[in-house]
Amino acid sequence: MLLRLIIRDFVIVDRLELEFNAGFGALTGETGAGKSILVDALSLALGERADAAVVRSGAERAEISAEFDVAPDGALQAWLQRSDYDSDACLLRRVIDSAGRSRAYINGAAATLGQLREVADFLADIHGQNAHHSLLRADAQRSLLDTHAGAQALAKDVAVAWSAWRVAREARQAAEKDVEATQRERELLDWQVKELLALGFDADGWLETEQEQRRLGNAKELLDGVGAALAGLEDGEAASLPSLQHAGARLAQLTAFDPALGEAAQLFEGALIQLEESALALRRYQDRLELDPARLGELDNRIDAVTQMARKHRVTPEELPDLLMRLQSRLAELTLRADPEALAERERRTETAFRTVAKQLSALRAKAAKALAKAVTAGMQELAMAGGRFEIALEALPDGASSGLEGVEFLVAANAGQPLRALAKVASGGELSRIGLALQVIASQANPAGTLIFDEVDVGIGGRVAEIVGRMLRELGRSRQVLCVTHLPQVAAQADWQWSIAKQTRDGATTSAVHVLDGEARVGEIARMLGGEKITDTTRRHAAEMLGLA
């Protein structure tokens, strides 16, 4: 569950440090006070995209930190260990600067937004203000059913298998459509691959060839330079080494008369040894290096052949091995394309793989659809839709799709005696709110996240229905942490704990503040939600009664 949320310089929040309780918590306050800002901040910590607009005016950056508990030996701990993060805790941190740049961290180590979203699946599930309307979309209906069925991973496998089948089918169709063009390209590629293989290019060998060619191409200049150096040291009339050797021996003798000459004599002797070693090295180099016009010609021809091949394919010589791999890969693809039986076999194999995994998904969906339909229908009776029915139609798609072997459609009869029709066509605003809320609450029971957040999802309901919704959320709070941003006193009164969010002005700046409500303070907030600006004793008694009944 969510333990702590720290927000700094986010929208109209300068600094908030909040510690959360278990169970069902209600976040209330006047419209525009910043209730949903807390949800937005948490969404960023869980990997939502952000821009510079979230940084509070005048601040350099916004920071959000969210700390969650980690159950030992649970799926979250396994994910953290697998991703090389410390697994004793789960602290998510997000920083957005005034230029819109964003950084993310998990347990103090840098993370990507993708990693934040992955870990968010274990932590929290947020139902936003527009969740009801999203249920009118086919993809949202399918996603909700898959979530309730625990089949999200299987649905991804189905999409991957469908993509592989589609690629195989398109390859066969393309091969059948343009056989001549494929054959011409194969012949060209085959000739190019053979030409490159015959060249026998090797990156390490190419470097050695260049070095040897450079050495042999400048052999005369090298020999002349080495000869001049040796002449200056020991071979010429003005050779310096014999004179220096004599001077060194004389200095060594003189140290017997004055030891103060010892340091200078040692330095002279060291320099002399270095010169003698240099002369020996130059002599060995001179003996090894020789003019070899024939070998130089071979190297020149090799370099010319490689350079021309690289120029022909518009690459550098160093890129020739990669070019060969690409051409061989394309040739293998076209060779397969030229084999109708092989292409057909690959298509059959990938189709079988798709249908196998898609049938597994279909079985899970069918089972979950019945259970979800039964539960939502029961929820509709509680939510003042007596006699209403909810069903999930699974329409077979013989040819399949990336989403599986069936389409998913939510059907509803809002009142007794009415036929089932598509949710988008029959539900009014109030009915959609109640059906959507029932769906979200019931589907959330199958969600692995330990924290469920409902951001003003109770819009469009009131009275006895609102009280029932509050009881549903409280019941849900018995098994996990539930946070609800609400304007309804009937919902807030059912909460195990309640916070009030209000605006305050300080030094000419408007910020949000959070107040923990207890006792009389909570009665006062419920009374405000019931009676508006003017709170009477009767309103307070009514609020106290609501809390007492809850």
Burial (0-12, 13-18, 19+ Cβ within 10 Å), 88:
exposed
Which pLDDT band, with edges at 50, 70 and 90, does 402 fall under? very high
Which pLDDT band, with edges at 50, 70 and 90, does 391 fall under? very high
Cβ-based neighbour number of residue 251 at 10 Å: 18
CATH topology of domain 1-20+29-124+491-512: Rossmann fold (3.40.50)
Token reading at 148: 């309730």
CA distance 274 to 287: 20
User: What pLDDT does 428 receive?
Assistant: 60
pLDDT tens figures, 91-106: 999 999 988 899 999 9
Q: Which 3 state secondary structure label does DSSP give 403?
A: coil
DSSP structure class, residue 32: T
pLDDT tens figures, 250-260: 888 888 888 88
The partner residues of 512 in beta bridges, in order of sequence, read 503
Which pLDDT band, with edges at 50, 70 and 90, does 8 fall under? very high
Of 293-297, 403-407, 463-467, give the lowest mean pLDDT range.
293-297
Cβ-based neighbour number of residue 186 at 10 Å: 17
pLDDT exceeds 80 at position 286:
no
**What are the boundaries of each domain within the chain?**
1-20+29-124+491-512, 199-331
Give the burial string for 295-326 (b: 16+ CB within 10 Å, else e): ebeebeebeeebeebbeeeeeebeebeebbee
pLDDT exceeds 80 at position 138:
yes
Distances (CA, A) of 308 to 132, 191, 413, 458: 66, 16, 76, 73
Write down the pTM of the prediction.
0.59
User: What pLDDT does 129 receive?
Assistant: 60
User: What pLDDT does 357 receive?
Assistant: 97
User: What pLDDT does 66 receive?
Assistant: 94
Give residue for tokens 């419920």.
Answer: 526
Which pLDDT band, with edges at 50, 70 and 90, does 446 fall under? low
pLDDT exceeds 70 at position 202:
yes
CA distance 453 to 375: 21
CA 80 to chain centre: 14
pLDDT tens figures, 320-334: 889 999 999 888 877
CA distance 173 to 187: 21
Token reading at 355: 């249908």
pLDDT tens figures, 492-509: 999 999 999 888 777 767
Give residue for tokens 């769906």.
Answer: 439
Most confident of 121-130, 132-141, 361-370, 479-488: 361-370
Q: Are 7 and 41 in contact (CB under 8 A)?
A: yes
Burial (0-12, 13-18, 19+ Cβ within 10 Å), 194:
exposed
